[in-house]
Amino acid sequence: MDTMELTALGEKILKHWRAHRPQMVAELEKSNRLQETVLEAQELTSDLLYELVSVQKMDHHAAWEMATKDWAFLPREAHRRTAKPNPSSGKSSQSWKKRRAPRRGTSG
pLDDT 10s digits, 35-85: 999 999 999 999 999 999 999 999 999 999 998 887 688 777 764 444 444
Q: What is the predicted pLDDT for the residue at 94?
A: 39
Can you tell me the mean pLDDT for 28-35?
A: 97
The pLDDT value recorded for residue 97 is 41
Which of 61, 89, 13 lies closest to 81, judged by CA? Answer: 89
C-alpha to C-alpha distance for 6 and 38, rounded to whole angstroms = 8
Better-scored residue on pLDDT, 89 or 65: 65
The yes-or-no verdict on residue 31 having pLDDT over 90 is: yes
Q: Indicate if the pLDDT at residue 99 is higher than 60.
A: no
Residues 38, 24 contacting (CB under 8 angstroms): no
pLDDT value at residue 18: 96
Cα–Cα distance for residue pair 97/87, rounded to 1 Å? 9
> Tens of pLDDT along 7-26?
999 999 999 999 999 999 99
pLDDT band at 2 (very low <50, low <70, confident <90, very high): low
